[in-house]
Amino acid sequence: MSSNNYATNGSLNYFLPPADGSRPFNSVNADSKTGERSRNWVEDPRVVDIENLRGSEDQYKLDNAGFQFGKAVSSHTSFVNEKEIEAEYYPHCTELIKKLTGASSIVIFDHTIRRRRPEEVDDNAQKRQPVSLVHVDQTTASSIARVHRHLPPSDAPALLKRRFQIINLWRPISHAALDWPLALCDFRSVDVKKDLVPVALIYPDREGETYGVKYNEAHKWKYMRGMQPDEFVLIKCFDSVQDGSVAILTPHTGFRDPNSPEGAPFRESIEVRALVFYDE
C-alpha cells in the first residue's frame, strides 16, 4: 500500500429499524452519566471497502455523486470563538458554495465543530465527536422545515417554488484528518426507496428528522485520505430536484481507518450547513 491511491476498509455502522415497526427516534445529546443517546433502534456494523479518491476526486461532483472535493485556504484558522467563526468563516463558505454551485443565494444556518476526545461524553454542542453512524442529515420534510425555520415567513413560499438544496461544507481543522476520516457513499449506488428510513431527531427544545441508512451491498464508499485544513468537501444533504437527473443526497459517516498511522492526532473538523437557493 505504498501508492497514494488505494482502498482501505472500515467497519461502518448502518441502521436497523425498530423490530416492532414503531417510528425510529434518537436524542441528539448523549446522557451525561451513561454516555449513550436514547433511541429505539440498533446499529448494524458492516465491514466495507472504501476507495481513496485522491488524484481522481475531480470525477465526483455534487450532481453525479452527491459530494465534491475542493481546495481553498481559509483566513480563519482558530475555530474557537463562535462569533468569530460566524463573522469570518461563514462568508468564506458562502463564496465557495456560490462559486461551485452557481447558486443565487446562500443562508448558512449552523455549524458543528468536532474534536475527537475519547474520554469525553458527547452531551452538548461544545463536545461533539465524529459521528460513527451512516446517515443523511436531512429528509425532505426536515429540509422544507429548515426553510421555514431560517427564512422570513414572507420569503419562504416563493423560495420553496424554486430549486433549493442543503449542502454541508466539511473540512479538517488544525491538522490532517488521518484519524477517523469521513467516508461518503456515491449516490449512484444508493436505492433511495429501500435504503433510507426517516428517524426523528430529538433536541431539548424541538424535533428534527434525519435518514437512517440500511445496509446495501451495492453501496460504493469513498474518502480522500489525509485531507488537509486547506481542503474541503461539499456534501449534498438534500436537493428539491428529484426527477432522477441529479444526485439528491449523500450518506456519510466517520470511520476508524485501520491504515491510519500510529499516533496520528485526533481528528478535528468543522462542518457548516447551508440552505442553497437558485433563481431557476
- Provide the terminal-to-terminal Cα distance of the chain, rounded to the nearest Å: 46
pLDDT at 209 over 70: yes
150 secondary structure, DSSP code: H
What is the rounded CA–CA span in Å between residue 33 and residue 31? 5
Helix (H, G, I), strand (E, B) or coil at 120: coil
Tell me the one-letter amino acid at 69: F
pLDDT at 236: 98
Q: Do the beta carbons of residue 76 and residue 85 sit within 8 Å?
A: yes
Task: Please classify residue 61 by burial: count the beta carbons closer than 10 Å to its beta carbon, then call 0-12 exposed, 13-18 middle and 19+ buried.
Answer: middle
For 237-270, write each residue's pLDDT tens digit: 999 999 999 999 999 999 999 999 999 999 999 9
Over the chain, what is the mean pLDDT?
Answer: 92
Q: Residue 223: pLDDT above 50?
A: yes
Distance CA 175, CA 172 (A): 7
Confidence at residue 119, expressed as pLDDT on a 0 to 100 scale: 65
What is the rounded average pLDDT of the residues 13-38?
Answer: 88
Residue 109 DSSP label: E
Residue 1 has pLDDT above 70, yes or no: no
> 3-state DSSP call for residue 60?
coil
pLDDT digits (tens, 9 = 90+) for 183-199: 999 999 999 999 999 99
Residue 131's pLDDT is: 83
Residue 226 near residue 74 (C-beta atoms within 8 A): no
Q: Which amino acid belongs to residue 102?
A: G
Q: Are 89 and 108 in contact (CB under 8 A)?
A: no
Long-range contacts of 261-265 (CB under 8 A, 24+ apart): 261/178, 264/176, 264/178, 264/179, 265/174, 265/175, 265/178, 265/179
State the pLDDT at residue 21.
95
**Which pLDDT score is estimated for 123?**
46
| Three cell numbers written together for 45 | 456494523
Q: With bands split at pLDDT 50, 70 and 90, how would you rate the model's confidence at 7?
A: confident
SS3 214: coil
- Which are the contacts of 198, defined by CB distance < 8 A and separation ≥ 6? 24, 139, 141, 209, 210, 211, 212
Where do the H-state alpha helices sit in the chain? 82-84, 90-101, 140-150, 156-159, 192-195
Mean per-residue pLDDT for 25-51? 88
pLDDT at residue 271 in the model: 96
Tens digit of each residue's pLDDT (9 = 90 or more) over 123-158: 445 556 788 999 999 999 999 999 999 999 999 999
For the residues 95-113, what does the mean pLDDT come to? 97
- Compute the distance between CA of residue 215 and CA of residue 206 in angstroms, rounded to an integer: 29
112-130 pLDDT per residue, tens: 999 887 665 544 455 567 8
